[in-house]
Copies of this chain bind each other. A is one copy, B any other.
Amino acid sequence: MLQGTLEVLILRCLKLQANHAYGISLFLQQQSDSEFVVDNGSLYPAIQRLLQRKWIQGQWKTSPNGRRARYYSLTAAGRKELLRATSKWQRFATAMAKILASEG
Please list the residues of chain A having a beta carbon within 8 angstroms of any beta carbon in chain B. 1-5, 8-9, 12-13, 15-16, 28, 31-33, 35-36, 86, 89, 91-100, 102, 104
A104 / chain B contacts, CB cutoff of 8 Å: 12, 15-16
**A97 smallest CB distance to B (angstroms):** 8
Per a CB cutoff under 8 Å, which of B8, B13, B28, B92 touches A35?
A: B92
Whether B95 contacts A93 by the Cβ 8 Å rule is no
Which residues on the B side are within 8 Å of A100 (C-beta)?
8, 12, 86, 89
* Beta-carbon contact of A91 and B4 below 8 Å: no
CA of A76 to CA of B96 in the docked complex: distance in angstroms?
A: 23
Nearest-Cβ distance from residue A91 to partner chain B, whole angstroms:
6
